Amino acid sequence: MNEIANLFDPGRYEAVRRPLLEADTLPPECYTSEAFYRREVETIFLKVWNFIGREDRIPNPGDYAAFEFVGVPVVIVRDRDGSVRAFANSCRHRGAKVMQGEGNCTVMTCPYHSWTYALDGRLIGAMEMDETDGFDRKNFGLVELRLETWAGFLFLNFDHDAEPLSAWLGDLPDVLASYKLEDMVTTRRVEYDLACNWKIYVENAMESYHVPTVHQQTIQKQKRDHNPPIPASGEYCGLFTRHEGSRALLPGAKGFPYIPDLEGLAAQGTYYVLINPSTMFGLTYDCMWWLELHPVSAGRTKLIVGSCFPKQTVARDDFDALVNNYYERWNKSIVEDNEISDIQQIGISSPFVKPGRFSYMEPLVHTIDNWVLDRVLG
C-alpha cells in the first residue's frame, strides 16, 4: 500500500474524535499502514508497561524464556535469588541473539563466540579478549530492561524514565483484589498467529455487539446484559456483566467451586478488562483468563491465551477431568474471534473501504481508538 502523506495530521481524524454516536470509526489505513504501525511502536509499545505473561512460566532459578516484542529480542530469566529479570537478548560482543526458545540454564552463553553471562546479566566469560585494549568485562553485561510484577503478572517497559507499574495500573489491583490473583496458577498457555492488526483484536474483545453473530454456537447462549464501561482510574477500561454461572464454561458444562470470598461486583458476574494498550483479562466466579498480544507488523499479531485457576482448585482430584470443560470453551470461542479478526483485516485492506459508524454497544472501541490517536498524533 502506498503511504499516505498526511497520515499523522490530526485533521484527518476529526470525525473519530466526536462523541461515540456521532463519530466515525478509525480510518482503515490505521490497521494496514506500516508507517502508522511504526509510529504506534515508538509512541506506545516502547513507552508503556507491556504485559508479558505470568511469572510461573519460569518458576525455578535458571528458567528462562526468549521472545520478541515489537521486534525487540527479550529474554526473561529467574535469578538465583528468586527474582525475575528481563534483558535485551542481544550479545554485547557483536549483537547476536543470545538465548533461544525457553528452558533452564546455569549461565547464558552466546551461540556465536561463547561470551557467557550470569543470570543477573554480568559478563563472566569472554575468551581471547585479553589482548583487547582497555576491555573490562564489567562494562559489557547484558542490557537490563525494566520488569515489574503485579499479583504474579509480568510487565515489561522499554522506557527507563516511565512511571512505575503501580501508576499505570491505578486502582485496578484494588478492584480485582478479591480474586486473589497472586494465589492463582497458570494451567495452560496457548499461542496463535493472527493475520490482523493488534487493534482489530483488542476492539473485538471489548465489545459484545458481535457475540450473537460470531459466537452463535458457543457463548451467545450465555445470558448477557449491556452495561456502560466500569469506572476506571488507571490505564485500563472494562465492562462488567451481571449473571449467574461461570463465563468460562459453555452452557451446561460442569465446573469448579467458586473462588472463596469474592466481594462486590466480583461476586455477581464477570469482568472483561483491557489493560492498555493490548492485554485483556476475563475474570469470572471460578477462574481468570488473559489474552496477551504481541504486535508483529501492521497486519500480523501473536496472541497468547493464558488460563489461571486458584491453587486450591488445581489441587483437586477432579481438576484434570473438569478443566477440559473450560479449555473447550476457550478453544471454541477464541478461535471464533481469531477467524473474524482475520476476515476483518482482509476486508479493511481493500482500497474501497471507508470509515463506518459505531453502535451504542461499542463505547470501548471508540475509547481505545481515541486513546491510540492521543499517543500517535502526540
How far, in Å, are 104, 253, 269, 307 from residue 190 at the CA level? 20, 22, 25, 9
**Residue 100 Cβ, how far from ligand FES at the closest point, in Å?**
13
Shortest spacing between CB 247 and Fe ion, in angstroms: 12
Place of cell 522499554: 158
- The site partner of 96 among Fe ion, ligand FES, none (C-beta below 5 to 8 Å per kind) is ligand FES
Phi then psi for residue 326, to 5 deg, are -75, -45
> Toward ligand FES, which CB reaches closer, 72 or 322?
72
337 binds, among ligand FES, Fe ion, none (CB under 5 to 8 A by kind): Fe ion
Instruction: Report what 314 binds from Fe ion, ligand FES, none; CB cut-off 5-8 Å by kind.
Output: none
Question: What secondary structure does DSSP assign to 192-227, as a single string?
Answer: EEESS-HHHHHHHHT-STTHHHHTTTTGGGS-----
Grid cell for residue 237: 477500561
Amino acid found at 343: I
Tell me which residue has its CB nearest to Fe ion: 337
Q: How far is the CB of 92 from ligand FES (least distance, A)?
A: 8
Q: Which stretch binds Fe ion (CB under 5 A): 23-31, 48-56, 144-152, 332-340?
A: 332-340
Please give the Cα distance from 89 to 111 (Å, whole number). 12
User: Which residue lies nearer to ligand FES by CB, 93 or 189?
Assistant: 93
Report the distance separating Cα 185 and Cα 310, nearest Å.
6
Residues that bind ligand FES (CB under 6 A): 91, 93-96, 110, 112-113, 115
From Fe ion, ligand FES, none, interface partner of 212 (C-beta below 5 to 8 A by class): none
Local structure of 142: helix, strand or coil: coil
Among residues 24, 235, 337, 362, the one that binds Fe ion under rule CB under 5 A:
337
What, of Fe ion, ligand FES, none, does residue 119 touch, CB below 5 to 8 Å by kind?
none
Binder of residue 93, out of ligand FES, Fe ion, none (CB less than 5 to 8 A by kind): ligand FES
Span of 10-18, 163-171, 242-250, 337-345 interacting with Fe ion by CB under 5 A = 337-345
Report CA Rg, the chain.
Answer: 22
Cα–Cα distance for residue pair 234/21, rounded to 1 Å: 25
108 binds, among Fe ion, ligand FES, none (CB under 5 to 8 A by kind): none
- Closer to Fe ion by Cβ: residue 147 or 340: 340
Q: Which does 300 bind (CB under 5 to 8 A by kind): Fe ion, ligand FES, none?
A: none
* Beta carbon of residue 152, minimum distance to ligand FES (angstroms, whole number): 33
Smallest distance from the beta carbon of 88 to ligand FES, in angstroms? 13
**What number of chain residues touch Fe ion (CB under 5 A)?**
1
Contact between 369 and 375 under an 8 Å Cβ cutoff? The reply is: no
What gap in Å lies between CA 141 and CA 118, rounded to an integer?
Answer: 9
CB-nearer residue toward Fe ion: 83 or 220: 220
Nearest-angstrom CA–CA distance, 123 and 135: 12
Residue 113 binding target from Fe ion, ligand FES, none, CB below 5 to 8 Å by type: ligand FES
φ, ψ for residue 260, nearest 5 deg? -65, 145
Question: How long a stretch of residues is the chain?
Answer: 378
Select 112 or 360, whichever has its Cβ closest to ligand FES: 112
Amino acid at 232: A
Which residue's CB is nearer to ligand FES, number 125 or number 152?
125
Identity of the residue, 91 or 364, whose beta carbon is nearer to ligand FES in the bound complex: 91
Asked if 207 is part of the footprint of Fe ion (rule: CB under 5 A), the reply reads no
Name the DSSP letter for residue 247.
T
Stretch that binds Fe ion, among 104-112, 277-285, 297-305, 330-338 (CB under 5 A): 330-338
Distance CA 286, CA 283 (A): 8
| Sheet containing strand 269-275, strands side by side | 184-194, 300-310, 288-297, 279-283, 269-275, 236-242
- Return the DSSP state at 25: P
Q: Using alpha carbons, select from 105, 114, 94 the residue that is nearest to residue 66.
A: 105
Closest separation in Å from C-beta 128 to ligand FES: 10
- 113 or 188: CB nearest ligand FES: 113
Phi and psi of 292, rounded to 5°? Answer: -110, 125
Q: Note the residues at the interface with Fe ion (CB under 5 A).
A: 337
